[in-house]
Chains A and B, each alone.
Chain A
Amino acid sequence: MLRFIFAAVVLALNGCAMIPSELSTGGPFAATTPLQAQSGSHEGERVRWGGVIIRATTESNRTCFEVMGLSLDSDAAPEANDQSLGRFIACAKGFYEPALYAAGREITFTGRIEGTEQQKIGEYLYAFPRLTADAVHLWPKRRNIVYVPYYDPFWDPFWPYYYHPYRHR
């Protein structure tokens, strides 16, 4: 008979994966990135893309967003890093207030790749993948959050390094 007692006293920070409901339907989503979609060969694929708004332009019955794509975390929120996945243009039906959907804000869409469009960034001719978006999620501004530490009995201090000094050999 083996008895096992394991106690770990730690301060840990946990997040639960909570994809906003409007972004969690309509899948499955292709893993295609905006950079890969520049080739034009990914038309019709359904994707979930997000990033930082560069500009929102309102048209008579829709709003188009120019976005710098970023990888998404388990909540489908853009991850703040330096690895841009390429820019894209996402258009959604309806009016989205450009003063709210402002440059610098984080946003995630689901939708269909509808081809590419040549547009200039400065003087550089860039092939923007076009996304017809059916869901638009604007993320709250990041705040300087003070996390309250709590005791998590299941926290494994050695994860993800599987070096357990008390493990059987």
Chain B
Amino acid sequence: MRIRHYIVVFMVAALSACATTPPYSEEMLRAVNLTMTPEQAVQENARDVQVMWGGVIIKAANTSDHTDFTVLFYPLDNAQRPDLNQKPRSRFLVRYPGYLETMVYAPGREVTILGALQGSEEGKVGDAAYTFSVLKADKVYLWPIGDDSRVHFGVGVGIGVHM
């Protein structure tokens, strides 16, 4: 019987870069006003305007049938993630119909929300009077902690000899 010799020397450098996929498709954004800001919404007392807003959760609370958030608005980047390198804008309120775990959807976490504006509401930040724009959320996308580079590199090297 012939002995077959194989010699396989193998070396691989695998480099995979995957940018984050935006959570909301173009189709979902068809009816969305992408230029509306919270300041503008307060000024116009905007209602029934579809927006995609994001930011950092400041407060989260469960009501009997809703989950309410106060969010600090940041403009979104290309991946629809709040861009924390930009200046934060004003706060806004989010009403999500249903229960979300506020230990997970917690202060400090980044979210991008799709929903419809419901006018504005008077409230307070500390002792200061504040007018909040109110967003009724259809979808709340929670961004993973950290993971800010948006690009992941994986490098693998393997050597094999087979005879």
Q: Which A residues are closer than 8 A to B by beta carbons?
A: 1-10, 52, 54, 68, 82, 84, 86-87, 121-126, 157-158, 165-166
A61, B147: Cα distance in complex, Å: 45
Q: Verify if B142 is at the interface (C-beta below 8 Å from A).
A: yes
> How far is it, in angstroms, between the C-alpha of A3 and the C-alpha of B150 when the chains are bound?
45
Assuming the contacts A122-B62, A124-B64, A166-B10, asked whether A3 and B101 have C-beta atoms less than 8 A apart, the reply is no
- Which of A9, A10, A124 interacts with B62 by CB under 8 Å? A124
Closest 9 CB pairs of A and B: A122-B62, A124-B62, A157-B158, A84-B101, A166-B8, A166-B160, A68-B103, A166-B162, A123-B63
Which of under 10, 10 to 19, 20 to 34, or 35 or more describes the interface residues of B?
Answer: 20 to 34
Let me know if B128 is at the binding interface, CB within 8 A.
no
**Contact present for A122 and B142 (CB under 8 Å):** no
Contacts of A157 in B (CB 8 A): 156-158
Q: How far is the CA of A28 from the CA of B102 in the complex (A)?
A: 32
A84/B103 in contact, CB under 8 A = yes
Complexed CA–CA distance, A9 and B104 (Å): 40
- 24 A-B contacts (beta carbon < 8 Å): A3-B163, A4-B163, A6-B161, A6-B162, A7-B159, A7-B160, A8-B158, A10-B158, A52-B103, A68-B103, A82-B144, A84-B103, A84-B104, A86-B101, A121-B102, A122-B61, A122-B62, A123-B61, A124-B67, A124-B99, A125-B64, A165-B160, A166-B8, A166-B10
Distance to closest chain B CB from A4 (angstroms): 7
Q: Which residues of B contact A125 (CB under 8 A)?
A: 64
- Minimum Cβ distance to chain A for residue B57 (Å): 13
Distance, CA A7 to CA B102, complexed state (A): 49
Interface assignment of B3: CB less than 8 Å from any CB of chain A: yes
- In the complex, which residues of chain A have a beta carbon less than 8 angstroms from the beta carbon of B127? none
Contact between chains at A122 and B103 (CB < 8 Å): no
B159 partner residues in chain A, CB cutoff 8 A: 7-9
B137 CB to nearest A CB, Å: 16
Q: In whole angstroms, what is the CA distance A54 to B62 when docked?
A: 15
